[in-house]
Chains A and B, each alone.
Chain A
Amino acid sequence: MNSPSATLPDAAPPSLQANRLRSLQSLGIFCGFAAGAWLGGAEAPIKLVNPDISPITVSLIMVCGVFLARWSVPAFIRGTSHVGADLRQAPHLVLWAVLAGCMWAVANTLTIYAIRNVGLSIAFPLWNTNSLLGIFWGVVLFKELQFAGWKRWLGVLGGAVCMFGGATLLAVASSHQAAPGKAALGIAAALGAGILWGTMYIPYRKAYLTGMNPLSFITFFTVGELVTMISLAVGYRGATPLWHELVGARSVLFWLMLGGFVWVLGDLFQQYATKYVGISRGIPLSNTNQLWGLLWGILVFHELQGGTRTVYTQVITGSLLMAAGAVAIALSSATEREHSSWRSAADREGQRYGIEDEYVRAGMEGRAFGAPQRSRTLLDWILILGTSGLFALLALSARLPHMDISLSWAVALTAAMLALLAAGGIALWRTTRFR
């Protein structure tokens, strides 16, 4: 879609109007829920992959899909000329985005070790503490929840704790692994991943308070992601064994890269949620991905079949807790007073890095800034067609493993995800023109 900036009112209101604030808050909350669906759905293609491939290689192939998606999706939606315009306004954010990408790659690799050493049931709740840490950084560094009142504090913090409890129950129920050795290292890895992911939201918030477009941020984020992941994979596996493993994994490259692509769409919604409702609300909402992952696991891949009553009780209680927590957070959107303290945090950022006030304000309010950019260039078409062509080629050599899969449920869940994608896309377009 092009960006018809000329059709939007470009004149900045003196302060954010109440109805505009409400629509941005609702948009951010919807994006948080859509993020949960797409991040959870990204697990589905990965389940089709032979477990013999090393986790580092799986992670590297996924990140390659992520890299392609992070450049082609922005090229498709707005064109890369907008990325250039953002870069000229706030060049320092390139470093922040690359730093966040490096953190993501290290955290993701740590989770592999955590699952291997202590199992998913212990590892998942530990790294899921990232949302609590995100709330902490949001409050301490970016004036989130300031002047929010005790009800909203209770909604956000109580909701996040509720979701944490629900996630713990779901992780316990989903786990089939026996308690293994090396527990201390596994716990350290899981906590390390949680700390890295929770702290990664500092660069996110920094970027969006300064007015950067999420579509621009992710293009630089992925450079850090890919470079770190290649370095880790070559360092851990060795270049030649890694290459042999990649060649041997030809038949599953499509599924893993598709998983990466789906994940990017979820992450994009998460970025918009972070931009419009902050990290203290956006991150817990997108953590509902565990519910979607569970739906795919149970309905499509027939996981937990023949489980005990205790397991089903854990699943139902955990899901209800997560849903209740998400609803509590969704109902605790920022007030005008709280939003004014976000603006003062944004002004502080603008002054520190010498960014135009109007750019910062327009970014926060999802409005146009400056002259309209060219919609798409030749580079954009190369990115779009090149990525589509590569995925089509990989799809030709992809093989579906012999697994007991419920195709009807897979179609139903895919349709639900696509409905959320369409609704989210339309809402973002109408409200902000993907700003």
Chain B
Amino acid sequence: MPSERFRTTFRAIATDVHFWIPFGVLIGGLFLLDKLR
């Protein structure tokens, strides 16, 4: 079922440390950009 696959994929991404590293860096970059304005 598509919704089941969506939930599984969402869980896999949410528990993948590989996702949180670039996501954290992106948030840091946006924060830095805001400081530079």
Contact = CB atoms under 8 A, between A and B. Distances in A.
A415 interface: no
B36 A236 contact: no
Given A189-B36, A196-B26, 12 more contacts: A95-B13, A106-B26, A106-B30, A113-B33, A141-B18, A188-B32, A188-B35, A189-B32, A192-B32, A195-B28, A195-B29, A196-B25
B11 to A, nearest CB: 10
Interface in A93-114: 95-96, 99-100, 102-103, 106-107, 109-110, 113
Interface string A277-297: 000000000000000000000
Contacts of B12: 92, 352-354
Q: In the complex, which range does the number of interface residues on chain B fall in?
A: 20 to 34
A106 B33 CA distance: 8
Interface in A170-216: 185, 188-189, 192, 195-196, 199-200, 202-203, 206
Q: Does more than half of chain A's interface fall in helix, strand or loop, or is it mixed?
A: helix
B32 A199 contact: no
Contact of A92 (B9, B25, B26, B28): B9
Contacts of A203: 22
7 contacts: A99-B19, A103-B22, A110-B29, A202-B22, A353-B9, A353-B12, A354-B5
A210 B8 CA distance: 17
Interface residues of A, number: 31
Given A109-B33, A189-B36, A353-B12, A100 B22 contact: yes
Interface of A: 91-92, 95-96, 99-100, 102-103, 106-107, 109-110, 113, 137, 141, 185, 188-189, 192, 195-196, 199-200, 202-203, 206, 232, 236, 352-354
A233 to B, nearest CB: 12
Contact of B9 (A91, A106, A199): A91
B23 A99 contact: yes
Contacts of B21: 137, 199, 202
Contacts of A106: 26, 29-30, 33
B29 A185 contact: no
B7 to A, nearest CB: 12
A353 B28 CA distance: 27
B34 to A, nearest CB: 9
